[in-house]
């Protein structure tokens, strides 16, 4: 029997898009919160082919439902032209829709009807520690990730490998997102090695054996299919000029390891980037689902190569700087970036998050937090002390 974990996302009262990578629990969440809704699954190949041949079948199906009904359409990006009929049903019959998608690629194309603001956008992420509660285990999270499909599996490593193959087959090949599937397959493990790093397009293109423009397109595909996010640099007029290139983060540490072909416990060289990426996903979740802040950046002055702050979150005029270390011992050099950013306008708190037990505040006001305490602050909806 599958264990159900409560999610942080709350159901809107009006129509909405729900985006998230495959296996993030969108369908399970919708079944829980909209048990009486009429369901249309576009992964059902027979139904997909019927609508593809004759869109009026979809319109007639909606017409047969009572006015004001809730309708769930799973994987609507497969047939984005259905949104024209969805729009009409919302306007004429006050129907409400939950529209899920694991890719935003087709929605970006010209002419796609995004319902003109009549549906809000929501996001589903892998499990956060708050959602897993006592079942959360950071060591396991860094080893296999927290995608619900994987976390609840009896054989998570094999399921992860299958997930990576499914991504290539269904999200990329089925949508014809790239012309050279072999080149993209060579690119994926290289991209996994870039997790948490600024992307050097020329180096990646050389290693993957493709053109620079192709690499740009591949990164765009990863973003569109919701398994990668680019973290922008913070661009304020500080004492020095900031870097302009974004960092690349996968949505889940387990997926990073699957694409690299890594199994077993993460080695020491992996843990830093895996933990940093896990925290990044948490910050994005609490931004998109709980609205705790408006934006997430990193900060690194171009003239000081060894000075950096992993994350800078902004909530209105207030900002919080976070440095993440996969170390059980706090060392002096861990504070370099947090001390360099001290003069930033609106900076409310500076936090060093680590895997040890040391807690407290330095003489110059930096909070030292074990990972569990950091998670508790997120649960209490405040990074401030």
- What's the pLDDT tens digit per position in 329-371? 999 999 999 999 998 999 999 999 999 999 999 999 999 999 9
Q: Of the segments 7-11, 186-190, 210-214, 232-236, which one has the largest average pLDDT value?
A: 7-11
What's the rounded Cα separation, in Å, for the pair 202 and 215?
9
Same domain, 174 and 156: yes
Secondary-structure breakdown of the chain: helix, strand, coil percentages, each rounded to the nearest 5: 45, 20, 40
Out of 50-59, 140-149, 162-171, least confident range: 162-171
Q: Final residue of a domain: which of 96, 123, 150?
A: 123
Q: Final residue of a domain: which of 78, 104, 123?
A: 123
Same domain, 84 and 156: no
What's the rounded Cα separation, in Å, for the pair 162 and 255?
11
Whether 275 is in a domain gets the answer: yes
Same domain, 180 and 236: yes
pLDDT of residue 332: 93
Whether 283 is in a domain gets the answer: yes
pLDDT of residue 110: 43
Tell me: pLDDT of 121 over 80: yes
The H or E element that residue 156 is part of is helix 156-166
What's the rounded Cα separation, in Å, for the pair 91 and 38?
18
- What's the pLDDT tens digit per position in 159-210? 998 998 877 666 676 655 566 677 788 888 888 999 999 887 887 888 777 7
Q: Final residue of a domain: which of 123, 143, 171?
A: 123
Whether 119 is in a domain gets the answer: yes
Q: What is the domain range of residue 218? A: 129-379
Same domain, 117 and 153: no
Whether 3 is in a domain gets the answer: no
Same domain, 299 and 165: yes
Whether 385 is in a domain gets the answer: no
Sheet of 247-250, strand order: 197-198, 247-250, 228-231
Same domain, 138 and 185: yes
What's the rounded Cα separation, in Å, for the pair 209 and 203?
10
The two three-digit tokens of residue 379, written as one number = 């649960």
Residue 328 is classified by DSSP as S
Same domain, 166 and 186: yes
Tally of domains within the chain: 2
Counted residue by residue, the chain has a size of 385
Whether 1 is in a domain gets the answer: no
Same domain, 167 and 112: no
Structure confidence at residue 57 as a pLDDT band (50, 70, 90): very high
The CATH number of whichever domain residue 24 belongs to comes to 3.40.50.300
pTM metric for this prediction: 0.92
The region that residue 106 occupies, defined by phi over 0 for left and psi between -120 and 50 for alpha, beta otherwise, is alpha
Same domain, 187 and 137: yes
Same domain, 297 and 261: yes
Whether 384 is in a domain gets the answer: no
Same domain, 109 and 183: no
What's the rounded Cα separation, in Å, for the pair 102 and 172?
11
Is residue 138 within 8 A of residue 128, CB to CB? The reply is: no
Tell me: pLDDT of 303 over 70: no
pLDDT of residue 14: 94
Whether 6 is in a domain gets the answer: no
* Radius of gyration of the CA atoms of the chain, in A: 22
Mean pLDDT of 88-96: 95
Same domain, 222 and 174: yes
């Amino acid at each position: 029997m599958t264990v159900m974990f409560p999610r942080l996302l709350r159901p809107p009262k009006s129509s909405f898009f729900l985006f998230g990578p495959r296996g993030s629990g969108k369908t399970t969440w919708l079944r829980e919160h909209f048990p009486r809704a009429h369901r249309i699954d576009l992964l059902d190949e027979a139904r997909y082919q019927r609508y593809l041949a004759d869109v009026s079948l979809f319109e007639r199906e909606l017409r047969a439902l009572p006015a004001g009904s809730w309708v769930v359409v799973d994987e609507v990006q497969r047939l984005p032209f259905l949104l024209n009929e969805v729009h009409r049903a919302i306007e004429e019959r006050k129907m409400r829709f939950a529209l899920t998608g694991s890719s935003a690629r087709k929605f970006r194309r010209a002419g796609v009807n995004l319902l003109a603001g009549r549906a809000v956008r929501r996001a589903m992420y892998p499990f956060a520690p708050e959602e897993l509660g006592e079942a959360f285990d950071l060591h396991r999270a860094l080893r296999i990730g927290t995608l619900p499909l994987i976390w609840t599996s009896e054989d998570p490593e094999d399921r992860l490998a299958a997930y990576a193959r499914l991504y290539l087959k269904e999200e990329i090949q089925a949508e014809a997102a790239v012309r050279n599937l072999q080149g993209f397959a060579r690119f994926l493990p290289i991209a996994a090695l870039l997790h948490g790093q600024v992307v050097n397009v020329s180096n990646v293109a050389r290693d993957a054996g493709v053109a620079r423009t192709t690499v740009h397109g591949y990164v765009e595909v990863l973003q569109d299919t919701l398994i990668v996010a680019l973290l922008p640099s913070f661009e304020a007029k500080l004492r020095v000029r900031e870097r302009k290139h974004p960092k690349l983060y996968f949505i889940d540490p387990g997926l990073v390891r699957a694409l690299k072909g890594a199994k077993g416990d993460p080695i020491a060289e992996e843990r830093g980037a895996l933990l940093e990426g896990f925290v990044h996903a948490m910050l994005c979740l609490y931004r998109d689902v709980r609205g705790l802040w408006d934006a997430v950046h990193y900060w690194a002055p171009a003239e000081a190569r060894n000075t950096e702050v992993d994350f800078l979150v902004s909530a209105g005029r207030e900002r919080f700087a976070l440095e993440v270390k996969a170390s059980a011992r706090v060392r002096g050099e861990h504070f370099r970036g947090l001390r360099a950013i001290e003069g930033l306008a609106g900076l409310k708190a500076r936090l060093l998050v680590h895997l040890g037990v040391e807690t407290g505040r330095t003489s110059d006001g930096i909070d030292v937090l074990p990972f569990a305490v950091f998670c508790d602050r997120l649960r209490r909806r405040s990074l401030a002390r």
